[in-house]
Amino acid sequence: MSILYWRLFLARFFRSPLQIGSVIPSSQKLVQAMLSPVPWNQIDTVVELGAGTGVITQALKKYHKPGTETFIFENDPVLQSLLRRRYPEFHFASDAAMMDTVLSQQNMNGSDVILSSLPFSNFSIDSRVRILDQICDTLKTDGIFIAYQYSQHIKPLLQERFQEVEIRWVPWNIPPAFVYICRKPIPEGT
């Protein structure tokens, strides 16, 4: 990542620290921990939440097979504009709580994988719940949700929603991070 992107990321962090969540972009070790659990040859639809300057987005382009529909959600208008220019083949939206609407407008009936860099700890409990509910509603039955966080505060909310929650520790990131790999959303009413 060029120095220009680092400066932009830092400037956006200081403008809106609760939205950005970190002073520097994710390390390559963290990106690898996020992407390695995904069976990319079986993936037709990908959603990325909180793309920032596009560290994970750039790797997504390399990993996924041709024809994979990719939806990038980034709330910061400056960062989203940058990403739109770099990745014109992807679909873009702002509000992660509108995932189901955005996908259905593109005639998609769910996502095979959802990757999240959203700083859930900085969100109100209502926002966390609303976004996690959208993730469960949008994720296909055999889909996978992967998120990184700097604490384990979100673990109980994930365990309420997924049958399988695996946690991996990534010390080679600033700050060190937990990667949550979640499978099989629990059906409503159980």
Phi, psi (5° rounding) for residue 6?
-60, -45
pLDDT for 35:
97
The pLDDT tens digits of the residues spanning 96-146 come to 999 999 999 999 999 999 999 999 988 999 999 999 999 999 999 999 999
Q: What structural domains and CATH numbers belong to the chain?
A: 25-185 (3.40.50.150)
The pLDDT tens digits of the residues spanning 23-77 come to 456 789 999 999 999 999 999 999 999 998 899 999 999 998 999 999 999 999 9
User: Model-level pTM?
Assistant: 0.87
The pLDDT tens digits of the residues spanning 149-178 come to 999 999 999 999 999 999 999 999 888 999
pLDDT for 19:
45
Distance of CA 181 to the CA centre of its chain: 12
Where do we find the tokens 């403008």? 15
pLDDT for 190:
61
End-to-end CA distance of the chain: 45
Phi, psi (5° rounding) for residue 161?
-110, -20
